[in-house]
A and B are shown apart, each in its own frame.
Chain A
Amino acid sequence: MSVDLTLKIGGEAGQGMQTIGYVLSKAFARGGFHLFANQDYMSRIRGGHNFFQIRVKGEPVYALSEEVDILIALDEATVEIHRPELKEKGVIIFDGEHIDISGQPPHLLSVPLERLAREEGGNKLFSNSVAVGAALGVLDYKFDILAGVLKETFGKRGEEIVQNNVKAARAGYDFTRENYKDSQFSPLESGQGNKKMLISGNEALSLGAMAAGCKFIAAYPMTPSTGIITYLAGKAREFGLVAEQAEDEIAAINMAIGASFAGVRAMVATSGGGFSLMVEALGLVGMTETPLVIIEAQRPGPSTGLPTRTAQADLEFVLYASQGEFPRAIFAPATAEDAFWSVVKAFNLAEKYQVPVIIMSDQHLADSYRTCHKFDLTKVKIERGIISDAELTKIKDYRRHRFTPSGVSPRALPSQKGRIVITDSDEHDEDGHLTEDLEMGKKMVQKRLKKIEALATEIEPPQVYPHKNAQIILIGWGSTYGALREAVDILIDQGVDVSLMHFQEIWPFPTQFVTSVLSKAKQSFCIENNATGQLARIIRAETGKQVTGKILKFDGRPFSSQYIITELKKKKG
């Protein structure tokens, strides 16, 4: 029987849902399962309602499900809010000594979480581990795997803490095995694990930057991008990079520009509000042709918006940001694995073409965990596009912004002996000196825009799944990939002739490819986490093709396949 289980842990901020969720996720991944997990949290430190949900499958899983098998309720609100999502055979795990819930077994499993935590661990703080044990008890999952994960997770805090957590988990596990006699779940047999990684979007983006040799990141904390500088700052000493928390986003991007100009791979990470502050410097990148990678992790706006929720409403902003015209590349990774490789490629393109490359993430991608194969680091190729000292000595009169057939000028670094490097935010001549010669200005605009031609050939066209010749094409970009792919699988099973065209690299726009796919389709639908259909508009602008319809969601939560299918059925007629 194929495994497809969803566990949800709900409670107030500060109750440790994330730790429970992460430990459970890791335990499933270790047992050889695929999983997708995400968190839904409010912008507060204590109280409110937060949850963490995990979907476990035997085969790769790309998205969440709306139906829940096991609900771990750390407070009464969780039961009220999420009970309707419970499957028929589902169960709610809760502490009946502290929460009063009406209902009938086998759907309710009261576990004395706090009491067992005190008895076994010596402190009610261990009740989360009791809950994890209880959940895995329901599934009759191998306890040793959980013990191993707890040991790793709490190892840094000392052996006593580890032992107390293990004892508490064991108590929850045993309690369930003894008391939950009418389980509707078949035992979850673990297999060979260990080959897969469990990784979040932010971790993958950070690791991608490190693999690409990024040596400098500057950022001002802003949800949901903060995880990136946090991760990199934690590795700075060991891996020889500098992670600086700047005084504001303006400083962050200008620092990164300075670092890049002086020769290191540099990056910034922010969300829409911070990117707004960076826009002037984005133009500086374009004008001075200084390579830069920018990660923009979207959340609902405008203004402060909903800090901890997800959205895809910054695409047009990022595409058109800054005065003037200059080339840029925009990526929108679909999964954590994709995120890793997109950063590696972003650094190469940024340096090869001396342009800004913007990676569009969002809260859903940033905070979700997914299992994937370990990244093959031997496939990481680094193309710097900096001319060597030897090459430089051959150039008699070095000019930073020299006209070339491709528009890409030889890039030397300040400090290379005998040569100086000059650049300017003003329009400049080939040397980099400020100019008001209008003919020169025009040629410089053309030179910079010329780079688009070659840059465009590097862009990967959207992924079409499973084939190009379907009657109905669903179109998406970035983090919606999983829900869309799953929706397509389900629809095909139901006999619908449908495929997915999914953009992971959006700009320069792959016009020819998209035109050809859309020309063949009878109907096309853009599915986006925004209120107006931004990609749909870009497609219209670039190909002249109008999509048949749009499925838009802008409530701060990600799509599920169920949602897409229901909405599509209403629209396609």
Chain B
Amino acid sequence: MVTIDDYQGQVTAWCPGCGNFGIIEALKKALVNLKLEPHQVLIVSGIGQASKLPHYMRCNTFNGLHGRILPVATGAKVANQELVVIGVGGDGDNYGEGGNHFLHAIRRNIDITLLVHNNKVYGLTKGQASPTSDLGFVTRVQPQGVISSSFNPLSLAISQDAGFVSRGWSGDIDHLSWLIKQAIQHKGFSLVDTLQPCVTFNKKNTYRWYKERVYKLAEEYDPTDRLAAFERAQEWGDKIPIGIFYRKQKPTFEDQLAALKKGPLFRQKLDPSQLKPLLETLS
């Protein structure tokens, strides 16, 4: 029986009180809840405080380049579709440096879960604005305040008909763990954008700030209604909804690759002599 202890990793180097602690706990709980063993799971991360997460767990880990989580995760999933592949990184990783990959992962609908630690600020590089920082957010690089509008990952994902679009909050571990579980179980690309405070560099979007605003989508909320989902994704300010905004079952990338019909790609052997007919056509 797999337990939380099986996922116990190294000692963290996160600031005390960091939102990452809630996220890692929620993730471990979700994996144990799904009875997944560490060797069945691959976490692909990028660069940033969030992307250090797999080192503080214990499972297969590819901690790659800043912004390149999704391409590495895509390649790994294509090579071995039996692996549960989870991308982990921050808002800079996924919405800044890796923005283009985010668009195309939605299009491909590959069966991976993307867990974005969204603290609306750059932590590792010490406090610059991120793509999700609020307008007017003042930093040493943006001394007059942010003048570019805040990126809304949920409305973008819903607009592109992504199959699983959700938002969690690191202050509610049980809810977040449930969300992550739902996301992993969803066949296709799933987004869990997770709000978290940065206790060191974001003095605006604090624990308290979120606590006063975050609410769960009601049980009656219908996540299959795309227009309603899009509308709900615009809600930000006094009230901030969390939960599954939108879901839709669509064929996955892997489902459509002929080569994967015969099982995981990495197990398939190729006998060079099979190429004989091709050489014939050239002569």
Which A residues fall within an 8 A CB radius of B?
29, 194-199, 203, 207, 210-213, 215-216, 218, 235-237, 239-242, 244, 246-248, 250-264, 266, 280-281, 284, 288, 374-375, 377-378, 380, 382, 413-426, 432-434
Contact = CB atoms under 8 A, between A and B. Distances in A.
The residue in B62, B265, B275 that gathers the most chain A C-beta atoms within 10 A of its C-beta is B62
Contacts of B82: 415
A251 B259 contact: no
Contact of B283 (A197, A416, A418): A197
22 contacts: A210-B278, A213-B269, A213-B272, A215-B270, A242-B257, A251-B74, A254-B64, A255-B72, A255-B78, A258-B74, A258-B79, A262-B77, A375-B279, A377-B275, A380-B272, A413-B266, A414-B83, A415-B80, A418-B39, A420-B59, A426-B63, A434-B63
A180 B13 CA distance: 86
A415 B37 CA distance: 10
A250 B75 contact: no
Contacts of B269: 213
Interface in B86-120: 100-101, 103-104
Contacts of A415: 39-40, 42, 60, 80, 82-83
Nearest to A421: B60
Contact of A425 (B47, B77, B257, B279): B47
Nearest to A414: B60
B40 A218 contact: no
**Which 5 pairs of residues, A with B, have the shortest CB-CB distance?**
A258-B75, A263-B266, A254-B71, A414-B60, A262-B79
Interface in B244-283: 257-260, 262, 265-266, 268-270, 272-276, 278-279, 282-283
A239 B100 contact: no
Given A251-B104, A374-B283, 13 more contacts: A195-B283, A237-B258, A240-B258, A240-B259, A240-B270, A258-B62, A258-B71, A263-B266, A284-B65, A414-B42, A417-B39, A422-B55, A424-B61
Contacts of B39: 414-420
Given A215-B259, A237-B259, A263-B79, A255 B276 contact: no
Given A198-B282, A198-B283, A255 B274 contact: no
A293 B268 CA distance: 19
B38 interface: yes
Interface in B196-211: none
B259 A250 contact: no
B44 interface: yes
Contacts of B226: none
Contact of B63 (A259, A382, A425): A425
A144 to B, nearest CB: 17
A197 B259 CA distance: 28
A418 to B, nearest CB: 6
A320 to B, nearest CB: 19
A433 B55 contact: yes
Size range of the interface on B? 35 or more
A262 B40 CA distance: 12
A235 B277 CA distance: 12
A420 B38 contact: yes
B173 interface: no
A254 B68 contact: yes
Nearest to B67: A250
A211 B278 CA distance: 11
B165 interface: no
Nearest to B276: A377
Contacts of A281: 65, 68
A210 B101 CA distance: 27
A425 B64 contact: yes
Contacts of A262: 42, 75-77, 79-80, 83, 266
Contacts of A248: 100
Interface in B1-26: 10
A218 B273 contact: no
B211 to A, nearest CB: 32
B63 A215 contact: no
B31 to A, nearest CB: 13
Given A197-B279, A254-B65, A423-B63, A414 B75 contact: no
The dominant DSSP class at the A interface is mixed
B16 to A, nearest CB: 20
A260 B60 contact: no
B65 A242 contact: no
B74 A255 contact: yes
Interface of B: 10, 37-40, 42, 44, 47, 52, 54-55, 58-65, 68, 70-80, 82-83, 100-101, 103-104, 257-260, 262, 265-266, 268-270, 272-276, 278-279, 282-283
A259 B79 contact: yes
B75 A259 contact: yes
A207 B278 contact: yes
A414 B275 contact: no
A216 B77 CA distance: 12
A382 B273 CA distance: 13
B268 A215 contact: yes
Contacts of B270: 210, 213, 215, 239-240
Contacts of B72: 254-255, 257-258, 261
A374 B75 contact: no
A258 B101 CA distance: 14
Contact of A266 (B75, B83, B272): B75
The residue in A196, A258, A281 that gathers the most chain B C-beta atoms within 10 A of its C-beta is A258
Given A203-B282, A423-B62, A425-B64, A258 B44 contact: yes
A216 B75 contact: yes
Nearest to A256: B75
A240 B79 contact: no
The residue in B78, B272, B273 that gathers the most chain A C-beta atoms within 10 A of its C-beta is B272
A257 B73 CA distance: 9
Nearest to A238: B258
The residue in A213, A374, A434 that gathers the most chain B C-beta atoms within 10 A of its C-beta is A434
A284 B52 contact: no
Contacts of A266: 75, 79
B75 A194 contact: no
Contacts of A198: 282-283
A161 B80 CA distance: 44
B60 A247 contact: no
Contact of B103 (A199, A247, A377): A247
Contacts of B73: 258
A417 B276 CA distance: 37
Contact of B272 (A244, A252, A377): A377
Contacts of A413: 80, 266
B271 to A, nearest CB: 9
B100 A414 contact: no
B120 to A, nearest CB: 24
Nearest to A198: B282
Nearest to B100: A247
A53 B74 CA distance: 42
Contacts of B278: 207, 210, 235
Nearest to A283: B65
Contacts of B60: 414-415, 420-422
Contact of A422 (B61, B100, B258): B61
A274 to B, nearest CB: 14
B262 A255 contact: no
A413 B278 CA distance: 31
Contacts of A255: 71-72, 74-75, 78
B259 A241 contact: yes
